[in-house]
Structure 1
Amino acid sequence: MYAALPMYDRPQHAAAHDALWVLIRDGLRGRGIAATDVLDRDTGHMDGWARPDLVLSQICNLPWRARFRGKVTLIGAADYGIPGVDPGYYTSVFVVRADDPATDPATCADYRLAYNEPLSNSGYGAPQLWAAARGFQFTPHIRTGSHRDSMEAVAEGRADIAAIDAHTYWVQGQIDDPLVPRLRVIGTTDATPGMTFVTRPGQDPAPYFAAIAEAIAALPARHSETLRLRGIHSLPDSAYDIPLPTPPEEVPDRQVALAVSGKAT
């Protein structure tokens, strides 16, 4: 059996996630659902979502839309209390270097984008769809592998802009990340469904939803404060009907085009 809470499971938050899993696990078992004793932190999340013995995980809405639609059961979206959005939704913040004069990402069409991976909604999908709605695409300049590495790429000048999951940036990053003072937020993407709890296909989501809701409510205050997890919300299927972004390799290199035209700055 496989269970993981991979989206925000940083080492300093492991104890809180373990405590949450014990509560969820016992709630599932009390409802007749077999659940593994401990969380799996060794299996990659893409492999984990595909496992036939998946008990519980969290999935980002872009990989669900691109690869896992119909292959997992959606249970509900995690609510991390992101300011300015409805429960169960989240946004990304656009960040530039602290000394960059930009004040609006709409004026940054020629900026080089650092992104963690092509199937990240917060780091790639959301900013590119936000830009597309305004008639342009950011140039996918550096694939970094993580939000923090994207922040570092911008801070060091290897890229000009990045979109960082608001929970990662505001809740986790600002508490303990020295990169944050070197960056400045200039806007947010549109809200989309947040990290969504899933299980293997063909399951009734109701008992899973109930077990998760009870576990969040029962989590000790010290762990609740660490995770900032406020609840779980059932979102309509239509909330996930979001176009897929243009893959990085298919986005024209605006930097090259500007250089050829003689308009590069």
Structure 2
Amino acid sequence: MSELVAALPMYDWPEARDEVDAQWALLRDAFRKKGIDAPQTIVRRNGDLPPVPGGIHDAQGKLIAPDPATLPPDELDFHKLWLHPALLFAQTCWGPMELGLSRQVQVVGQPSYDAYEGGQGELYSSALVMRTGEGQEVRSPADGRALIPLDLIRGKRFTFNSLDSMSGIIALTRDLQAAGESLDIFSTRSESGGHRGSIVAVAEGKADVAAIDCESWAQAQRFEPAAREVVIVGWTGWRKGLPFITAATTPEKTVRALREALAGLAEQPRIQRVG
């Protein structure tokens, strides 16, 4: 049995878990054909992570995360997952990567967002949503430029999934800055804990505006009833989507094999080789 860890947590909604498991099976089998001891299943709980007695340390010996065995077993702490020394393969976000995670992991590939409005290849954008009737619905710009309805969102209440989310807040912040504005355009800001929660908050009138990455929006249209109560009124500009990563300690030979396996799956709808 493999002692390595894999996870695909970023779009792992309960209703989509069979699809996520199927995606991992495709990846796992491709990795195994390259001689990689990929685990049979992905982890979904802290309790599924191998213990690291004494905690997780970086290359300089600094403690950067506690032993996963000390975390609530039925939850999944994404940041501790990403830092686990046994991590073979997982998804993350460029927000945490820019905030320091990139020093602790290696990027092995990018997913393709061709299947979603607002996506092209490895690039994706976020849909700005408001309650139906409060703004005119717009399609994503073909050139991937930001389309921010400044007058419409000014003075409104903004909700976002987390402060380190590229799709939920950082991309919008940068697009606003490019337009000579800032997050101060909103009357209030609140953290929802997830894109799905942001959609629900807007639909229920607890917030007025949220930025939802294009794949999460497509997922919400399938599985979240509250998505029928909101409409897209704008888009952030294209940025690189969620990268696939492996631990900093993963051997160079294994990283090369992971990339080769991803390249072999390049014709699949959601896999794309890293450049």
Normalized against structure 1, the TM-score is what?
Answer: 0.77
When residues 84 and 38 of structure 1 are mapped into structure 2, their CA distance, relative to the original with a 3 A threshold, is closer
Query: Of the candidates 95, 103, 116, which is equivalent to residue 129 of structure 2?
Result: 95
Partner of 2:200: 152
When residues 137 and 29 of structure 1 are mapped into structure 2, their CA distance, relative to the original with a 3 A threshold, is same
Q: What is the CA deviation profile of residues 157-187 of structure 1, one whole-angstrom value per residue up to 9, with x for unaligned ones? A: 2211100011111x21222322122111111
1:20 aligns with 2:8: no
More helix by percentage: 1
Query: Of the candidates 166, 180, 189, which is equivalent to residue 121 of structure 1?
Result: 166
The letter for the 2-side match of 1:92 is: S
1:165 aligns with 2:210: no
Unaligned segments of structure 1, at least 5 residues: 219-228, 236-265
The letter for the 2-side match of 1:110 is: G
When residues 7 and 176 of structure 1 are mapped into structure 2, their CA distance, relative to the original with a 3 A threshold, is same
State the distance in 1 between where 2:78 and 2:201 align.
24
CA contact (8 A) 1:93 1:164 kept: yes
The percent identity for this pair of structures is 30
Structure-to-structure mapping, 1:25-64, within 5 angstroms: 25-43=28-46, 44-64=77-97
> Bigger relative contact order, structure 1 or 2, given CA contacts below 8 A and separation 6+?
1
Q: What is the CA deviation profile of residues 71-126 of structure 1, one whole-angstrom value per residue up to 9, with x for unaligned ones? A: 11101110021335431110000011112147752222322210011011111111
CA contact (8 A) 1:92 1:166 kept: yes
Structure-to-structure mapping, 1:1-265, within 5 angstroms: 1-43=4-46, 44-81=77-114, 82-83=116-117, 85-101=119-135, 105-107=149-151, 108-138=153-183, 139=186, 141-169=189-217, 171-202=218-249, 203-204=251-252, 205-215=255-265, 217=267, 229-235=269-275
Normalized against structure 2, the TM-score is what?
Answer: 0.75
State the distance in 2 between where 1:63 and 1:209 align.
22
Q: What is the CA deviation profile of residues 237-262 of structure 1, one whole-angstrom value per residue up to 9, with x for unaligned ones? A: xxxxxxxxxxxxxxxxxxxxxxxxxx
